[in-house]
DNA sequence: GTATCTGCAAATGGTTTGCACGCTA
DNA sequence: TAGCGTGCAAACCATTTGCAGATAC
C-alpha cells in the first residue's frame, strides 16, 4: 500500500514537471493527507520524523515549487503565517477562525459551479478559492 | 464635498466602535477610494502627503483596527505582502496575478448569492472572499 | 555530465511591540 | 482626566537567499 501510494505521488510530481526527490514525496504526502492545512513549520516537524536531516529551507523551497505548478494553494491572510492546502482533492472552500486560526474545509456544491474557470477579464485563471472568516464553535463558546 | 465625505467617514468609524483621529480618517479614505488594493507601505506613502509626520507603525495599527471591526479585508496569500481592501463597497471578488501581483476586482452576481452568510458548520461567519489566481493580460503577453 | 535539489546559516524585510507624549471623548 | 492613539525605534520572526556538496535524469 505504501508502495502503491508512493508510486502515485511520483507520477503526480512528474506530470507537473517537477524533479522527484524523497523529500518532496514526503512533503507532498503530508500535505495531501493532512486535514489541518499545515504551516511550513508544521510540515517541517512532520517530515523530520522520516528525514531528520531535512531543513526548513528545503521545506519552503518545495512548497514554493508545488505552488508554482499548482499542486497546492496558500490559504488565508487572516492567519499569521501562510498555511498550505494540497489541490488534487475535491473542490472545497475554507472556514477560517479569526480567533484561534483553525481552518476547516467547507463543502458546498452550489458554490462550486465555477469550479474550473478559464478566463475572466482577460486573466487566465489557474485556481480559485472561497474563504469565509468568522468564529469557530469553540471560540464562540469562550466569548463573553 | 470634502467636508461631507469626511463627515460620513467619521460616522462610519464611530458606528464601528473606533475612536476617530485625522490619521485614521485619512487612512480609511485612501483605502475606500483606492482601486489598487494597496499594501500598508503604499497606504503609508499616500497618507504621508497629507500627514508627513505619520509613521508606518501607526498605519499598521490603524489597518489592524479596521480589520478587527470588519471595515477591511486582507487580500490574497499569493502576493508577497498583505494587501488591504475596504469593505462597505458592493460585494465583489478578486483576480490576482501570480506574476506581477496585480489585484483586480471581479464582479459576478452569480457568485455572490451567498453574499451575507450567517452560519456554516457552527462557524459564525463575518466575511467572505472569493479569490481567483492566474495570469493577467499583460503578463500573458510577455510569456514566451 | 549537468542542471537541479539539499542542508546549513546568514540575511532580509514585513510586521509587531514598547514606551513617552499628545489627543479624543 | 483617563484611556486610547501616535510617533519613533528597536525587536521579531516568517521567509528568502547564497553557497558547497549531493542527487536526479
**Model confidence over A55-85: pLDDT tens digits?**
999 999 999 999 988 899 898 777 888 888 8
Q: What is the pLDDT of residue B43?
A: 96
A44 pLDDT more than 70: yes
CB atoms within 10 A of CB A3: 7
Closest CA to B34 of B91, B81, B79, B72: B72
Q: What is the mean pLDDT of chain A?
A: 84
Residues with Cβ within 8 Å of residue A55, at least 6 apart in sequence: none
Q: How far apart are alpha carbons A47 and A105 in whole angstroms? A: 23
- Give one word for A18, left, alpha or beta, with left for phi > 0 and alpha for psi -120 to 50: beta
Report, as ranges of residue numbers, the positions in chain B whose pLDDT lies below 50: 1-5, 113, 115-116, 144
Q: What is the pLDDT of residue A17?
A: 94
Q: How far apart are alpha carbons A117 and A127 in whole angstroms? A: 8
- Count Cα atoms within 13 angstroms, Cβ side, for A103: 23
A117 pLDDT more than 80: no
DSSP letter at B20 equals P
Query: Could you say which nucleotides of strand C lie within 7 A of any protein CB atom?
Result: 4-10, 14-18, 23-25
Kindly state the average pLDDT of the residues A13-38.
95
- Where is average pLDDT lowest: A87-91, A120-124, B43-47? A87-91
Angle (CA) A78 A79 A83, round 5°: 120
Which nucleotide shows the minimum CA-to-C1' distance to residue B52?
D7
| B128/A129 Cβ within 8 A | no
Judged by CB atoms within 8 Å, which residues 53-72 of B form the interface with A?
none
Pairing mode, strands A119-120 and A123-135: antiparallel
SS3 A46: helix
Q: Binning pLDDT at 50, 70 and 90, where does residue A29 land? A: very high
Q: Which residues pair with B83 in a beta bridge?
A: B39, B75
Residues with Cβ within 8 Å of residue B101, at least 6 apart in sequence: B78, B79, B80
**Distance from CA(A20) to C1'(D24), angstroms, rounded:** 7
Which residue's CA is nearest to the C1' of nucleotide C8? A55
- Where is average pLDDT lowest: A34-38, A68-72, A77-81, A94-98? A77-81
Q: What is the mean pLDDT of chain B?
A: 84
Looking at per-residue confidence, does A106 or B112 come out higher?
A106
Amino acid at each position: 500500500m505504501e508502495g502503491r501510494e508512493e508510486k502515485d505521488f511520483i507520477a503526480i510530481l512528474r506530470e507537473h514537471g517537477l524533479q522527484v526527490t524523497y523529500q518532496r514525496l514526503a512533503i507532498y504526502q503530508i500535505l495531501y493527507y493532512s486535514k489541518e492545512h499545515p504551516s511550513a513549520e508544521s510540515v517541517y516537524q512532520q517530515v523530520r520524523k522520516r528525514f531528520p536531516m531535512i531543513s526548513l529551507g528545503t521545506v519552503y523551497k518545495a512548497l514554493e515549487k508545488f505552488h508554482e505548478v499548482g499542486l497546492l494553494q496558500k490559504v488565508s491572510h487572516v492567519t499569521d503565517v501562510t498555511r498550505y492546502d494540497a489541490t488534487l482533492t475535491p473542490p472545497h472552500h475554507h472556514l477560517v477562525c479569526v480567533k484561534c486560526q483553525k481552518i476547516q474545509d467547507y463543502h458546498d456544491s452550489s458554490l462550486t459551479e465555477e469550479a474550473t474557470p478559464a478566463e475572466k477579464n482577460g486573466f487566465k485563471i489557474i485556481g480559485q478559492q472561497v474563504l469565509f472568516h468568522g468564529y469557530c464553535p469553540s471560540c464562540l463558546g469562550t466569548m463573553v
